Chains A and B, each alone.
Chain A
Amino acid sequence: MPMARKNRASSYWGGPTFLILFLVLIVSLIISTGKGYIKISPSTVVDILYRGIIGELPDKGTNLEINYYVIWQVRLPRILTAMVVGGSLSMAGVIFQAILVNPLADPYTLGVSAGAAFGASIALLLNIPFLGIYSVSIFAFFGALLTLVAVIFLSSNSGDISSNNLILSGIIVSAILAACISFIKYIADERVSVIIFWLMGSFNSKTWIEFFVVSISTFIGFLISFYFSRDINLMTLGDRSASALGIRPSRLRIILLITASMITAVSVSVSGIIGFVGLVVPHLMRFIIGPDNRKLLPVSTLAGAVILLWADTITRAFLPREIPIGVLTALIGGPFFCFIFKRRKNIGFYG
């Protein structure tokens, strides 16, 4: 039994599991950077990464120069963005499950994804030019933000916010937005394929700018939620007990709700809707290191990064034809989730 370790309360951030995942992440990054149309050996990848970091450009006209360009201009931004988005979705999943006290919640439960999809669909439908290539992302972000405001408004009851109200409001708002998106697709004619393609998610042609934007939001989100990670544990006991243990449940729920929704909104704006990562990874990690959020948050963030990095590498470099990443994660994540859910349910891991 993984849970039976003694004095678990005394170690934070996940100890050995964290270190192992960190190593796996670094190795994965190096291997995956070498994969693709042009194959590059891991040692060359390390050499090129090193050169890039110390700022030493390879000689002009050499093979190394081409590889240098491929890695630093094309592959790294994409791979790193996939990594950070994976981490942020998993982290948001942990937060949503904990504050909604519901192991079936995920970053999209409150309709953030539907809001982003709606915003993006409008931008794609109207083909809005004035914000350049980022107009879709910006519309998606504000769509998500407005949805969040609507959901919080719907579910608040004289200052108190209960998790059930939040989940219900999220479902209602998502359903309305889904209808709106269907309508947009219906009137979009030939642009409908662009919308559908965006909605299924992709890391194709991501740039350093997108990487920095998601990294900053993920980093800030991590600091906030890790700071509150012990308080989040108390939410498990219910609002009343948490209250008697020195927590203000409604306030904490709002702070974390906004934090997790913001990082989700940024991720979705950058990469489209990538499902199942935020649901499956927290479950898998809880299975391995237990439900203590002080460990679960860092460990899930790393695991999510590893998993989405590989999912993206599979579609980018191994499949004969690139399939949308959101489809791939659902195809792998869905059955996998069924498997762990069934297995763990049998031995009582879920209530």
Chain B
Amino acid sequence: MDKVILALNKLTFNYGNNRVLNNISLDFEKGKFYGVLGPNGCGKTTLLDIIIKYKVPVSGNIKIKNKYIKEYSNEEIAKTVSIVPQDFYINFPFTVENIIWMGRYPYIPRFSSPGEENKEIVDRVIEDLELCDLRNKLITKLSGGEKQRVVFARAIAQNTPILLIDEGTSNMDIRHSIYILNYVKNLVKNYGKTIIAVFHNLNLASLYCDNLVFIKNGHIIASGKTEKVFCKEIIEDTFDVKCHIYGESSTGKKQMIWNIQ
């Protein structure tokens, strides 16, 4: 029972009269990699927004580590959950290093100097995510994929037990996507972090996630272990497109291709 780090209980959310999430209940366990899958506009981003306390549900509640998020202060939330957002447009010419430092703000009191240990964390994240060459560049001058890697690094520098990733590799080339997903997978294995990632690439989701959640129109279609729920019926039901599942690959993971008539 206390393996559950994040519990969503009967969450409902509306935009005006438009019901976006309908009675969502889900438990997330510590030290697991979760994938969230579903068509555009099904409510994935809204769900993550509620978890970071950016949006407030009309009904239902959320517990993190057995404490209602209503009882968390803003600073506590910042030390518990971080997010790689879907949109990463940055309008002001901060350097890459400046941006990554922002991930450490919650740990540094206003007006005090950052201290050695924060510097080390920032340096390590920059090295780990292969951003050394970009370190002193202006964020406004980077390509989409490069920006996304920086925004990713910022969220990792925040070093929280729960990391939310909203299509966080959508603009990266395949090598960088795999590099970064390997990196966060490692955080799950070695540091017991919990990751909840929205994917559009189902095959990547199958390769990396321990569990998958399928959402459609604000409802959960299916959730469970990847090997169980990554199947033809559920995927076709969620996306309304025919597909074909093939092989146990060398990794033992299933993969899929769309079946277009």
Q: Which residues of A contact B (CB under 8 A)?
A: 1, 3-4, 6-10, 12, 98, 101-103, 227, 230, 233-234, 236-241, 243-248, 286, 290-292, 347-351
Q: Which of B85, B99, B119 contacts A240 (CB 8 A)?
A: B85
Q: Which of B74, B138, B154 contacts A3 (CB 8 A)?
A: B138
Chain B 87-99, CB-CB to A under 8 Å as 1, else 0, gives 1111111110111
Known: A3-B138, A233-B102, A240-B49. 17 other contacts (CB 8 A): A4-B95, A4-B136, A101-B91, A230-B105, A234-B105, A237-B151, A237-B154, A238-B85, A240-B54, A240-B83, A244-B155, A245-B78, A245-B102, A247-B74, A290-B94, A348-B140, A349-B140
Query: Contact at A291–B83, with CB atoms within 8 Å?
Result: no
List, in ascending order, chain A residues with CB within 8 A of B101's CB: 9
Q: Which residues of B contact A (CB under 8 A)?
A: 49, 52-54, 74-75, 77-78, 81-83, 85, 87-95, 97-99, 101-103, 105-106, 110-111, 113-114, 119, 136, 138, 140-141, 151, 154-155, 158, 164
Query: Contact at A10–B93, with CB atoms within 8 Å?
Result: no
Most buried by B among A291, A347, A349: A291
Q: How far is the CA of A349 from the CA of B138 in the complex (A)?
A: 8
**Can you name the residue of chain B whose Cβ is closest to the Cβ of A97?**
B92
List, in ascending order, chain A residues with CB within 8 A of B75's CB: 246
Query: Contact at A237–B102, with CB atoms within 8 Å?
Result: yes
Q: Smallest Cβ distance from B109 to chain A, in angstroms?
A: 10
**Can you name the residue of chain A whose Cβ is closest to the Cβ of B52?**
A244
Q: Which of B87, B90, B138 contacts A348 (CB 8 A)?
A: B138
Q: Which of A9, A102, A239, A240 contacts B91 (CB 8 A)?
A: A102
17 contacts between A and B (CB under 8 A): A3-B93, A3-B95, A9-B101, A12-B111, A236-B92, A236-B94, A238-B87, A238-B89, A243-B54, A244-B77, A244-B83, A244-B155, A244-B158, A248-B74, A291-B92, A349-B140, A351-B140
List, in ascending order, chain B residues with CB within 8 A of A292's CB: 94, 98
In the complex, the 10 A-B pairs of residues with the closest C-beta atoms, listed nearest first? A246-B78, A348-B141, A243-B54, A291-B92, A246-B74, A9-B101, A244-B52, A244-B83, A4-B136, A240-B85
Query: Contact at B95–A8, with CB atoms within 8 Å?
Result: yes
List, in ascending order, chain B residues with CB within 8 A of A103's CB: 91-92
Q: Smallest Cβ distance from A297 to chain B, in angstroms?
A: 13
Q: Smallest Cβ distance from B107 to chain A, in angstroms?
A: 10
**Can you name the residue of chain B whose Cβ is closest to the Cβ of A294?**
B111
Query: Contact at A290–B93, with CB atoms within 8 Å?
Result: yes
Q: Smallest Cβ distance from A254 to chain B, in angstroms?
A: 16
Query: Contact at A286–B93, with CB atoms within 8 Å?
Result: yes
Q: Smallest Cβ distance from A90 to chain B, in angstroms?
A: 16
List, in ascending order, chain B residues with CB within 8 A of A234's CB: 102, 105
**Can you name the residue of chain A whose Cβ is closest to the Cβ of B94?**
A291
Query: Contact at A350–B54, with CB atoms within 8 Å?
Result: no
List, in ascending order, chain B residues with CB within 8 A of A241's CB: 83, 85, 151, 154-155
Most buried by B among A9, A102, A349: A9
Query: Contact at B102–A10, with CB atoms within 8 Å?
Result: no
Q: Which of B82, B93, B105 contacts A291 (CB 8 A)?
A: B93
Query: Contact at A8–B98, with CB atoms within 8 Å?
Result: yes
Q: Smallest Cβ distance from A94 to chain B, in angstroms?
A: 11
Q: How far is the CA of A230 from the CA of B74 in the complex (A)?
A: 15
**Can you name the residue of chain A whose Cβ is closest to the Cβ of B75?**
A246
Q: How far is the CA of A227 from the CA of B54 in the complex (A)?
A: 23
List, in ascending order, chain B residues with CB within 8 A of A348's CB: 93, 138, 140-141
**Can you name the residue of chain B whose Cβ is closest to the Cβ of A228?**
B110
Query: Contact at B82–A244, with CB atoms within 8 Å?
Result: yes
Q: How far is the CA of A236 from the CA of B150 in the complex (A)?
A: 14
Q: How far is the CA of A233 from the CA of B113 in the complex (A)?
A: 16
Q: How far is the CA of A246 from the CA of B83 in the complex (A)?
A: 12
**Can you name the residue of chain B whose Cβ is closest to the Cβ of A247?**
B74
Q: Which of B53, B103, B154 contacts A243 (CB 8 A)?
A: B53
Query: Contact at A9–B77, with CB atoms within 8 Å?
Result: no
List, in ascending order, chain A residues with CB within 8 A of B52's CB: 240, 243-244
Query: Contact at B78–A236, with CB atoms within 8 Å?
Result: no
List, in ascending order, chain B residues with CB within 8 A of A347's CB: 141
Query: Contact at B95–A290, with CB atoms within 8 Å?
Result: yes
List, in ascending order, chain A residues with CB within 8 A of B114's CB: 9-10
Task: Known contacts A238-B87, A350-B140, A351-B140; decide if A227 and B110 are in contact (CB<8 Å).
Answer: yes
Q: How far is the CA of A238 from the CA of B52 in the complex (A)?
A: 14
